[in-house]
Amino acid sequence: MGKTFNVFYIVLVGIRLLLALSPGYIHPDEYFQSPEIMARSMLNIDAFVPWEYQPEHAARSILIPFLTTGLPFWLLEQYAHWFGTWTDVFPTVALFTVERVAFFALSLITDYTVLRLCRKLEKDELLPMLLTATSQVTMVYCTRPFSNATESFLLCLSLLALLSFDMDRTSGFALGALITAGLFNRITFLLFGLPTGLGFLYVARRQGRLIQSMIAFLLGASLTAAAFVFADSFYYGGLVLTWKSETEPLHCLTQLWADGYSLDTLQVDWQSIVLTPLNNLQYNLDVNNLATHGLHPLYTHLLIHFPLLFGPLAVMGIWAAWAALRIVRQDPHAYFFFVLLGTLVVGLVGLSSMPHQEARFLVPLLVPLVMLYTWDQSISIGSILFLLLWFGFNLVTGLIFANMHQGGLVGALSAVQKQTMGIQGCSPLPSGDIACSLSDVGGPVDTSGYQLNTHVIFYKTYMPPRHLLSIPIAWQQNGPARVLVEDVAGNKTKLHEALIQRQGSQLRRHKKDRIQIEFSPSKEQPGVYER
């Protein structure tokens, strides 16, 4: 690649970072399958725990969220301790930035994979890199903390590990570990990873070292599975670890190390083994369970979601793959072409056979589709018309989903946090209400001894991610300032009931140079003020 493209690529990465930090909200799972859980576990922030992470279901592994979002949150906490930046709470913008930047960094795995695959296959990397870097899937979906984005990264690394195993004769250990991690991340990885696994068996047999390769593969898979089972059993209570007769939860592990607890004070009590992929599979095999999340026609993925994610590439990628079948048998890496094609077909057909379908489920198909489209580079695949359609499609959809779609929710939560966790002194008013001054979030909250409740009602929005309010868990029981979130979805009756139940504040004139908010005496709790 020349200098011009390198500069252009850097610009594209900069645009990706801007889109990653944009407030667009694609689907509730981008918050509720990772950041919401990790903020509670790592930062002791009050958050909503979805059914998947409740011990009675234990349907999601905790290790992937811990590695992708939990560790960045822990680093944020260490930064606050080292530099004394915040005392009581983390500003909304800090939490939001950390979780988005973490996945922005992980999204570069996609670009790296395409670059390495092209060079190993001795193909020109310019067009594949351009398509990958300009796709809304990379720039928007992969920069959100979706488990689907992690699934895509693990598939990319698995494809790269397979080609490395073939060409460099490196161990299949890494491939076994990656495929196993993919299965614990999402059970749908069975569909995406199956062609890669079959490709591994084909290459190992062709090289005449099937047994050695399988031993290495199974060793990597077994050790990885053991790590996931250990972490999940610990998190969900199947495994109880006790130090000095005090049972410690997951978020206290770092404090145990800091306090100097040693292994000779550790007691291990295995009560049950938690297998989250099995629990998830059992749940999803019941159509009645899926109906609570929405049932869709079987053609939804193929006719709606596939074009919605990939635009003109959805059509041209399949056409180019069909055209490449004529010449692929003469290619020394023909098996890898069929692995890519199998990933596309098995993934698309397998997911389409399930009654619950969402567009983000198809995110891992990006790299296989790009590589299939650019496989036969002797034909005119990079035509001006196609590129214009491609850039236009991704520009429009990228702006919609990165910025506009449910884009006001994060700003609303930030405003609520500032008006709750930035309180610096309250005083009574002649009306019986109290007025509180505001300052920047992060310092100590001073309510002048008053107990303050803020009721926030969300109507016709996605589920609000509570962790962005950064309310300490202890405060929701007996804190100076509490936030009570009520999500009425689209129920107008519940909205009306919630509004008439609350006490309104009397309007008054405010001084221009002093920002204040009012709280009124609660109808339900004497001595408590609310708004």
DSSP string, 453-495: EEEEEEESSPPP-GGGG--BTTHHHH-SEEEEEEEEET-HHHH
**What residue ranges do the domains of the chain occupy?**
3-210+298-404, 423-530
Quote the tokens at residue 104: 């922005």
The per-residue pLDDT for range 97-110, each reduced to its tens digit, is: 999 999 999 999 99
* pLDDT class of 252 with cuts at 50, 70, 90: very low
pLDDT at 354: 92
pLDDT at 250: 42
The answer to whether the beta carbons of residues 67 and 150 sit under 8 Å apart is: no
* pLDDT class of 187 with cuts at 50, 70, 90: very high
Mean pLDDT across 204-232: 93
Q: Give the residue from 14, 44, 11, 50 showing the smallest Cα distance to 29.
A: 50
pLDDT above 90 (res 442): no
Least confident of 81-90, 154-163, 210-219, 289-298: 81-90
Q: Give the residue from 522, 523, 515 showing the smallest Cα distance to 415.
A: 515
Cα atoms in the Cβ-side hemisphere of radius 13 Å centred on 251: 14
**C-alpha pair distances (Å), 321 with each of 162, 373, 411:** 20, 6, 44
pLDDT above 80 (res 254): no
The answer to whether the beta carbons of residues 26 and 147 sit under 8 Å apart is: no
* pLDDT class of 267 with cuts at 50, 70, 90: low
Mean pLDDT across 249-262: 50
Give CA angle at 59 (53, 65), nearest 5°: 60
For residues 350 and 476, the model is more confident at 350
- Number of other CB atoms surrounding residue 282 within 10 Å: 13
pLDDT above 50 (res 457): yes
The per-residue pLDDT for range 118-159, each reduced to its tens digit, is: 999 999 999 999 999 999 999 999 999 999 999 999 999 999
pLDDT at 251: 43
pLDDT above 70 (res 244): no
pLDDT at 271: 74
C-alpha span between 285 and 279 (Å, rounded): 10
C-alpha span between 28 and 26 (Å, rounded): 7
For the ranges 235-239, 292-296, 363-367, the maximum mean pLDDT occurs at 363-367
CA torsion angle for 276, 278, 279, 283 (degrees, to 10)? 140
C-alpha span between 364 and 367 (Å, rounded): 7
pLDDT at 232: 93
Question: What are 434's strand-pairing partners?
Answer: 428, 519
Greatest distance between any 2 Cα atoms in the chain: 89
**C-alpha pair distances (Å), 463 with each of 29, 250, 420, 453, 525:** 9, 26, 20, 20, 27
Question: Collapsing DSSP states into helix, strand and coil, what is residue 218?
Answer: helix
Considering only CA atoms, give the Rg of the chain: 26
C-alpha span between 9 and 133 (Å, rounded): 7
Q: What contacts 105, CB < 8 A, 6 or more positions away?
A: none
The per-residue pLDDT for range 297-346, each reduced to its tens digit, is: 999 999 999 999 999 999 999 999 998 888 888 888 899 999 999 999 99
C-alpha span between 158 and 177 (Å, rounded): 9
Mean pLDDT across 408-434: 91
* pLDDT class of 260 with cuts at 50, 70, 90: low
Quote the tokens at residue 310: 């990939």
Quick one: angle between helices 71-83 and 92-120, nearest 10? Answer: 130
The answer to whether the beta carbons of residues 317 and 369 sit under 8 Å apart is: yes
Q: How many whole angstroms from its chain centre is CA 473?
A: 23
Q: What percent of the chain has pLDDT over 90?
A: 67
C-alpha span between 187 and 32 (Å, rounded): 18
Mean pLDDT across 222-241: 90
pLDDT at 331: 82
Round to the nearest angstrom and report the end-to-end CA distance of the chain.
Answer: 59
pLDDT at 18: 97
How does the average pLDDT of the chain come out, rounded? 89
C-alpha span between 294 and 285 (Å, rounded): 14
Least confident of 261-275, 312-326, 335-349, 467-481: 261-275
